[in-house]
């Protein structure tokens, strides 16, 4: 399938989505959101894809919502239509059964930063810049960062970024827990692929159950979350991979997982 705003490739069980609106620094518009939904339709159906990487260009990941579309919003109803689509897309990425890695270079601002927050793991190049500058335009984020950012880095640090609209560099993002690691620009995709390949070798059903336990449990009370984890733990004992993994451990050999 050919897209106008993204490039999609597959290799070694990894689906790689490259954001590709260079004329607007990968600004997010309706076509962009529609095409991301289409590619995730394909990824959900494709059993050969175990892990997803989302990346941009060397100078920009994504600079947020396309101002040409945002500035045309004239009523709360039109604003509702736009942000509901953005929230639905980012929630879809967050809840995808397959792990998603953001490989970030350059600017990740506004909706671009929100897109990274919907991913499971964030790897930043040392030229990456993060921020939620919406307050400077007289608006607030609409793609989930008022909720995901505090959950990731704590309310105090999140409020500082949201209230000021200031940007931070990759090292500061790492220091406050916004990204998992910082690497040179030249090795970003190598590191992202290395991480993706390591994850792809893990038993797929156990991966799905781990993501489900974390994503759903984080919004529950601790007793409810522990009960949810217990159900996920019990479920994996119905899989062939659980039996193979434990048998291989006892036999001191590498397991051969089949995703069953």
Looking only at the bridges linking them, the beta strands covering 6-11 and 14-19 are antiparallel
Is 114 assigned a catalytic role?
Answer: yes
* Set 35, 83, 134, 229: catalytic member: 134
Do 140 and 146 form a contact (C-beta atoms < 8 A)?
A: yes
Do 163 and 205 form a contact (C-beta atoms < 8 A)?
A: no
Residue from 16, 170, 29 nearest 102 by CA: 16
* Set 47, 114, 216, 244: catalytic member: 114
Map tokens 């009370």 to a residue: 221
Structure tokens at 139: 């608006």
- Tell me how many helices (H) and strands (E) the chain has: 11, 10
The angle, 0 to 180 degrees and rounded to 10, between the axes of the packed helices 76-95 and 30-45 is 30
Is 69 assigned a catalytic role?
Answer: no
What three-state secondary structure class fits 189? helix
- Active site residue ranges: 114, 134
């Amino acid at each position: 399938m050919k897209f106008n705003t993204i490039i999609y490739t597959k290799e070694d069980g990894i689906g790689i989505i490259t954001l590709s609106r260079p004329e607007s620094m990968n600004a997010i518009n309706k076509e962009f959101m529609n095409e991301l939904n289409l590619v995730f339709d394909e990824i959900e159906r494709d059993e050969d894809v175990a892990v997803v990487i989302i990346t941009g260009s060397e100078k920009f990941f994504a600079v947020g919502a396309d101002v040409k579309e945002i500035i045309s919003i004239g009523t709360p109803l039109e604003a509702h239509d736009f942000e509901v689509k953005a929230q639905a897309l980012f929630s879809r990425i967050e809840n995808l059964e397959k792990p998603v890695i953001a490989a970030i270079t350059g600017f990740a601002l506004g909706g671009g930063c929100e897109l990274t927050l919907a991913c499971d793991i964030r790897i930043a190049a040392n030229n990456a810049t993060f921020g939620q500058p919406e307050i400077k335009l007289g608006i607030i984020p609409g793609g989930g960062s008022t909720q995901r950012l505090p959950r990731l880095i704590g309310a105090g640090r999140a409020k500082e970024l949201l209230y000021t609209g200031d940007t931070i560099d990759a090292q500061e993002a790492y220091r406050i827990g916004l990204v998992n690691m910082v690497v040179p620009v030249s090795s970003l995709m190598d590191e992202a692929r290395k991480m993706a390949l390591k994850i792809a070798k893990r038993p797929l059903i156990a991966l799905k159950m781990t993501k489900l336990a974390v994503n759903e449990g984080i919004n529950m009370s601790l007793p409810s979350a522990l009960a949810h984890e217990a159900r996920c733990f019990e479920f994996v004992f119905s899989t062939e991979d659980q039996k193979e993994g434990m048998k291989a451990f006892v036999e001191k050999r590498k397991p051969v997982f089949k995703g069953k």
